[in-house]
């Protein structure tokens, strides 16, 4: 089975590594060609010069890009893949995209005899390396069954969210909650530090009580208390995801003031900390505003 994988970023190159083996015949493409060449030197894969070259004759095409904007670009841009996709192929978009664009792409491809599934992933670089990502997908079950062996190569918990766009919707809300938890934990600990409570002691209690979250149990102890702040997932991408959730809320006339406020705060954090900051570094904004460090 020929697989084309487009997008070898922090998560994408780890996902693609699980497809660089039999029974798959893997072709890779990345906007920065050096990444594709580096990948092919260490994995069983061929490098394509353009998106069109990558997808030609591929049964399954996987895109793992920063946003739906980039997916549209590799479809319709110069040397784009739209006209090269073979009839009967399936495009699996693992981008954390926006539902309206995914539905639009699905409709366009459907008119050409190409199937589409939105299948964003969660679990970060650790799960991507282990091949144990959570995959939330939207689309038709009959289509998914054709690509199941491919997705099972890098996914462990695989969940059907609903029709096309549902996977993107679920991923956006999941990441919106992540953003809320990071800021709420940081603000709570800022209060406690100013009150003279050791944040290690505070987290010991919080994580044995009802206030716990992945942020308090893992992210803050491992990244904030240590001051390590490893760059595993850009803050700018999390801002994009919570922005998708906020737009969805507006479109659906849902009242979500907390998510809207968090979207504003992450926009502020990106402007303060820059495009390359990790998502957990949003804690630094809270620290700066309160004149403390959580350590």
The set of catalytic residues is 171
User: Is 66 within 8 Å of 233 (Cβ atoms)?
Assistant: no
Question: For residue 218, how many other CB atoms are within 10 A of its CB?
Answer: 12
Helices (H), 222-274: 235-251, 257-273
φ, ψ at 68 (rounded to 5°): -65, -25
User: Is 131 within 8 Å of 109 (Cβ atoms)?
Assistant: no
| Lookup result for tokens 């804690």 | 283
CA distance 168 to 108: 18
Tell me the CA end-to-end span of the chain in Å, nearest whole number: 50
- Cα dihedral 259→262→266→271 (10° resolution): 110
Within 13 A of 13's CA, how many CA atoms are on the CB side?
Answer: 18
User: b or e along 142-167 (b: 16 or more beta carbons within 10 Å of the residue's beta carbon)?
Assistant: eebebbeebbebbbeebebbeebbbb
């Amino acid at each position: 089975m020929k697989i084309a994988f487009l997008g070898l970023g922090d998560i994408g190159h780890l996902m693609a590594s699980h497809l660089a083996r039999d029974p798959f015949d893997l072709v890779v493409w990345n906007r920065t060609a050096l990444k594709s060449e580096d990948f092919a030197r260490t994995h069983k894969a061929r490098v394509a010069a353009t998106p069109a070259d990558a997808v030609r004759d591929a049964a399954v095409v996987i895109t793992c890009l920063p946003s739906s904007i980039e997916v549209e670009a590799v479809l319709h841009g110069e040397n784009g893949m739209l006209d090269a996709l073979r009839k009967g192929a399936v495009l699996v978009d693992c981008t954390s995209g926006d539902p309206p664009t995914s539905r639009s792409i699905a409709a366009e491809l459907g008119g050409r005899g190409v199937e589409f599934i939105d299948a964003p992933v969660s679990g970060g670089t650790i799960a991507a390396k282990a091949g144990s990502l959570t995959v939330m997908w939207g689309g038709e079950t009959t289509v998914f069954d054709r690509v199941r062996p491919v997705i099972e190569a890098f996914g462990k918990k695989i969940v059907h969210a609903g029709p096309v766009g549902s996977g993107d919707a679920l991923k956006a809300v999941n990441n919106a909650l992540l953003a809320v938890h990071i800021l709420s934990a940081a603000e709570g600990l800022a209060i406690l530090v100013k009150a003279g409570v050791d944040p290690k002691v505070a987290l010991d209690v919080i994580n044995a009580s009802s206030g716990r979250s992945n942020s308090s149990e893992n992210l803050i102890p491992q990244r904030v208390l240590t001051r390590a702040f490893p760059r595993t997932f850009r803050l700018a991408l999390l801002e994009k995801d919570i922005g998708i959730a906020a737009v969805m809320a507006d479109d659906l006339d849902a009242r979500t003031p907390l998510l809207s406020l968090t979207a504003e705060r992450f926009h502020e954090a990106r402007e303060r900390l820059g495009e390359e900051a990790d998502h957990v570094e949003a804690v630094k904004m809270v620290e700066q505003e309160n004149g403390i460090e959580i350590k």
